[in-house]
Structure formats: C-alpha cells, structure tokens
Amino acid sequence: MFYYRKALPSALLVTLIVIISQVLTTLANMPENINRHLIFCAALDVIIFLACFFLFRLRPQAEKMDATTVELKEPEL
C-alpha cells in the first residue's frame, strides 16, 4: 500500500504535463476532425498514466533487489 501513495502523485504529474502539451498543440494546430483528435488524446493520457503509475510503483522493489550485492575480497598472497 505504501508504494501506491508514492506512485500516484508522480504518475499524475507526468500525465498533467502531457495533457498541457496536448492542449497547447491542439490549440496551435486545430485539426479538422477535433472529436477524433480529443478521443485519441484521452486514450493516450490513460495509457501514459497507467504506464507511469506501474513504473513508479515498481521502483522501490527494484531498489530492494540492489541491496543483495556481494562484496569481493582481495585474494591473499
């Protein structure tokens, strides 16, 4: 449960940045079929949010795996 609280704000921040860039791009270009463009942007936002959420959620587990390193000793002569 602790990982979800850390992952959610990060994923929301990335998704918010993508939404702002999509709005600015849409206003600058104004495509002919605006409805299809908005549906595509919404679907892309959902995919980006889910990808970021699961990637940020897995990050603490990867840090735990790095703790299993083995120390090498110098050979005795």
Q: What is the pLDDT of residues 31-70, one digit of tens each?
A: 788 888 888 889 999 999 888 888 877 765 545 555 555 5
Residue 31: phi, psi to the nearest 5?
-65, 160
pLDDT at 60: 57
pLDDT at 25: 85
Residue partners of 59: CB distance under 8 A and separation at least 6: 7
